[in-house]
Structure 1
Amino acid sequence: MAAQMTRGKETRPITVLQSVRPQTDNDNPYVKQVMTAVACHAEVAFFSWRTALFGRYDVLHVHWPEFLLRAPERSRGLQYALFLALILRTALLRRPVVRTLHNLAPHEGAGMLERLLLRLLDRRTRMWIRLNAVTAQRPPQTMTILHGHYRDWFAAMDVPPPQPGRLLYFGLIRPYKGVEDLLDSFLALAPALAPDAELRIVGRPSTDALREKVADACAADARVSALLDYVDDATLAQEIGRAELVVLPFREMLNSGSMLLALSLNRPVLVPRNAPNVALADEVGRDWVYLYDGELNAATLANALWRVRTTARAPTPNFSHREWADAGELHYLAYLAAIRGHGRHA
């Protein structure tokens, strides 16, 4: 399907400026797969302030808007001015903004001026993309494009068999992700309740305090080990493969790429019960997603391990609604709807 824009006698594919910069090996596979899927239907331009303020594009697709504002304090004023100039340019040239709702709000706190600028961007947004069907729709238009799977991305990588008793947390270690709660719960897990249990933490801590918390747990209990750094995809496939259960005790959870990655490698996950997680469990199979209520504790971990071992499950999670070819076409339709300004929910 060719995405075309006609201006006078000129016909050309639409150009979508993404709010992310050119991707490296260390970047999020979700973003890379979105760019590849979209590129089948439209021209993709990666973000720079020069392109944003002076380049030619038909749609601005924003993923995590706060990342366009975060800068060292000495240059924060300039960053805010550039962001405001971008909003003004999209308004003057009538370039629609499409926004993917990865989160309802930034996970780390934002100052008053940052919140004001983000609200201005919200007012310029002509299409909201939600990654699950339970997030509230927003005017003037909302389209649901489910977060795609990672099966194809990791298909060529070696995935070892699971080790009985191994619990795994992986991903960036940030305050809202509840890694401290996981450590405290595991340290309180009596060996008699789960004789073969061990906990593996893989990821880069965002603060020194979090790094010290994990290091102290490793020193206090030989059952706890950690790799506190960014790891490449091949190493990540090894770490996930060795897990009997992946534990993601996020205090805020709307759309988790980590959960979909674990499921893509056929590893069950333990996550807090909320509407998005219940919907995902119903979709992929309740035998793949284990939900807990309230605060994570040692009993929850022990019970989850028991359920993993005693529950029959399908050979793989059901990802029939999460193919990337479908996501690429739906993004294209979202861009066209934003350009045409249809005031309806899709």
Structure 2
Amino acid sequence: MSKTNAGRFFEDYAVGQEIVHAVPRTLSGGERALYHALYPARHALQSSDEFARSVGYSEAPMDDLIAFHSVFGKTVPDISLNAVANLGYAEGRFLRPVFAGDTLTATSEVVGVKQNSNGKSGVVYVRTRGENQRGETVLSYVRWVMVRKRDLASAPPQTVIPDLVDHVAPVDLPIPEGLDFTGYDFALAGEPHRWADYSVGEVIDHVDGVTIEEAEHMLATRLWQNTAKVHFDTTARAVGRRLIYGGHVISMARALSFNGLANAQLIAAINSGAHVNPCYAGDTIRAWSEVLDKAETSAPNVGALRLRLVATKGRAGGLRDADGKYLTDILLDLDYWVLVPR
């Protein structure tokens, strides 16, 4: 009997199946420091305990995407070890802040399956929940991933596609307890732009670009204990190149968005997201954002912006061609809510 794990294949999933993921992860200042070394992340709330205390926290929380990647990484051996690609996200909600010293665990429920027409792979939908050491849910999200079949002759399962909301409604946005931007220091945050300064339909070119390096993307992926073969093994894909972990692209784009959105301090929700085209080492990533919506919140002087964050190898503002298809330069199309001072 083999003691090694070859990972699940498409036919190993069934709707309703619950998967408890190994291994618990206690986060520390080391994760924060390495995250800020890998990405140009410099939002003040996650960088400074004193700034965090001035807006209602006891200390600086971890960057929201540190929590996301840590939980996501737990799921990889069970969900996407044999993945062809991670396809998209929906209904993501960042329910509680995560601090240094917190221990995160992850559990997923299979909520949908659909075999592809080629019979060689299928799409698996899972709802993943990340919890802290007190059993509190810190984030939840749905993602879907294309997974290879083990036996091409196996019968396809009954297709089940979950009914997912288009976006998280403003009334359902989680607001951290005690968050208060009344005493917000715009000078220390790095930009003067408030909630009222942004207009629906506005497009922001974040200007800067970063070239993806082979060593850095593998270091980042290992940091989150993500074991997907396609990120490390050049023989795992027909093109003979390592695929950049999609979360690496998300974090890079989010960090680049600081220039123009320095006061978008917290991610409240991920409405949808798609890794549109593959990213490889040597690609230079740029980012732009479009303001999709605005909403007030119940927290003092806190507003919400719904943003489209696009990572691209091309120009700002370009997204689709005349036929409505994504341009080949587009890497990421992410629709999310952020919290900003009013």
Q: Same fold (TM over 0.5)?
A: no
Q: What is the TM-score with the length of structure 1 in the denominator?
A: 0.25
**Higher relative helix content:** 1
Q: TM-score by structure 2 length?
A: 0.25
Q: More strand by proportion, 1 or 2? A: 2
Bigger radius of gyration among the two: 1
